[in-house]
Structure 1
């Protein structure tokens, strides 16, 4: 099948760019130095490709991602880098035939994990992002509580997500080092083998931070948000649309809000300037003449929610469709 035969909007992955992205990251963080974050793609077939280049530990954002990865047999060590007190979901993770570790930051999350069969945890530490995570000075006592409840405390994690888009690299590095000093402080009190942090925007800034595994995800596919950072990864994810209307000065394609993650702003479009998006439409000013029925290639602003809006991604090489990958970890 040719890419032009796909029904649109169609989520498309450039196979060659994707392969190069995986190789670039694997050369920088081989093996379990990287714990790829599947929230970025929600696709076990894509995770299997990450495993094929040497990564066998994975990060998940939802229990469904953990369960889906476990049942698919992808990964030998799965981390839920998120808090949950849902008994049914915790039991479903505990019943998997694979190591499952959960993040905890409170007595309640510890008790829920221990009561529902989870065997190990990481202490989630607040390193500056006002989201989940215990204050660094409380991490040691929380680890004591977790061990008393019967959990193995494997170490600590913290996410410096508020620093991913600091524009100047030197400034970003300085702020990452200050943030990770909080994580090291916590780890000194908690113990364990794992110090987990990082993301695509800071993947190469942890050489002197004490972090021994990086939770990057967007690097595999990329988006316009991370594309501003000058990272050594290529845009591999696109949404292909069809031009459905042409007027004097603008055109409309069928890639609207329901096909794109928009929290990072408008997408971009190849050979055009985006004006705005609405539910089922993207209005843009084309750089060259277009006609109704032509294809338009849209670059999403944020990869994670864009992937979650589609049932499948089409793997493409030289405009030929070579595979269909279900987005089988979407939803909750």
Structure 2
């Protein structure tokens, strides 16, 4: 993991990276990112922001997601004296909610091609003006080109990313502010020649099989450790299943084996040629296809060195909403 953090910090040092804690949901891992020079963080939930504030990790926290829940926004507003907290808004409704709660800083969330949150680029300016009229500071813009993360051809990906960032730049010209925030692990190195000045990558720290397809310098650093509980002829079963893995990106993988299917508490798998079948009681290392929801299913992460020695634990303390 630390090699992954070093690799990203080399490309995006300091405030150039705003690590997304939704990927690991652990203030312990966020503290490791602070040691690499990153003090600004991206969060997906109010719980993540409040957890970082409680842990004293980071000093510039962005909720890169819309919320209109008055209690959650009020909790963020109450923490504003402990950290610089900024909330993404993409409509009059989300701005109204932030204003009623007493949020002081917002970022205009701009749709750059992914059919999810974000205001149309041509409308970003009036939303920023509306915020400033209310006395709210508009720090800039953000946009997430999530639909481009897994484009395989790098030339095609770069072209499409730059097209999306042109939309963000146009919105920023109308909005103003110091921040132009975008990106993820799949596009972290695509922003040369754009106006983007901070990248919101998160999965790079721990990785998963989906991002592992891209040939990036980031290595797998997280596994769900299971125990073989049954071995029947040509297949084995371990006690890891749907309740412990994010499955929206497909089946997990087990090195040297073929995964047949996952059920609630089980993975059925078989050894590839040349790999011995594991015996009941043996441990297997299961690599998730999607790191973010996998981490959100567990209470604690065991920290091990490269030799497999367990050094301690990090609570996955940023779970929840």
Task: Classify the TM-score, shorter chain.
Answer: over 0.9
State the match for 2:285 in structure 1. 297
State the match for 1:13 in structure 2. none
Unaligned runs of 5+ in 1: 1-17
Report 1:248-267 matches (<5 A). 248-267=233-252
State the match for 1:26 in structure 2. 9
1:92 is aligned to 2:80 = no
TM-score, normalized by length of structure 1?
A: 0.94
1:28 positional shift: 0.6
State the match for 2:301 in structure 1. 313
Find the aligned partners of 1:314 and 1:126 in 2 and give their Cα distance: 38
Q: Which of 24, 34, 45 is residue 51 of structure 1 equivalent to?
A: 34
State the match for 1:12 in structure 2. none
State the match for 1:330 in structure 2. 319
> What's the CA shift string for 1:106-148, capped at 9, x where partnerless?
1111111111121010100000000000000000011101111
Find the aligned partners of 1:153 and 1:283 in 2 and give their Cα distance: 51
1:169 positional shift: 0.8
State the match for 2:151 in structure 1. 166
Find the aligned partners of 1:130 and 1:265 in 2 and give their Cα distance: 21
> What's the CA shift string for 1:154-209, capped at 9, x where partnerless?
00000000000001111110000000000000000000000000000000001111
Q: Is the 8 A contact 1:159 1:197 kept in 2?
A: yes
State the match for 1:10 in structure 2. none
1:289 positional shift: 2.6
Find the aligned partners of 2:46 and 2:280 in 1 and give their Cα distance: 43
Find the aligned partners of 1:214 and 1:319 in 2 and give their Cα distance: 32
Higher relative contact order (CA 8 A, sep 6+): 1
Q: Which of 174, 192, 205 is residue 220 of structure 1 equivalent to?
A: 205
Find the aligned partners of 2:135 and 2:253 in 1 and give their Cα distance: 50
1:233 positional shift: 0.3
1:34 positional shift: 0.1
Aligned-partner SS, 1:200: coil
Q: Is the 8 A contact 2:270 2:277 kept in 1?
A: no
Q: Which of 93, 111, 134 is residue 126 of structure 1 equivalent to?
A: 111
How many residues align structurally?
A: 315
Two-structure CA RMSD over aligned residues (Å): 0.7
Find the aligned partners of 1:139 and 1:170 in 2 and give their Cα distance: 29
TM-score, normalized by length of structure 2?
A: 0.97
Unaligned runs of 5+ in 2: none
Q: Which of 210, 224, 238 is residue 239 of structure 1 equivalent to?
A: 224
Find the aligned partners of 1:285 and 1:151 in 2 and give their Cα distance: 58
Aligned-partner SS, 1:245: strand
Report 1:198-217 matches (<5 A). 198-217=183-202
Find the aligned partners of 1:33 and 1:162 in 2 and give their Cα distance: 22
Q: Is the 8 A contact 1:59 1:80 kept in 2?
A: yes
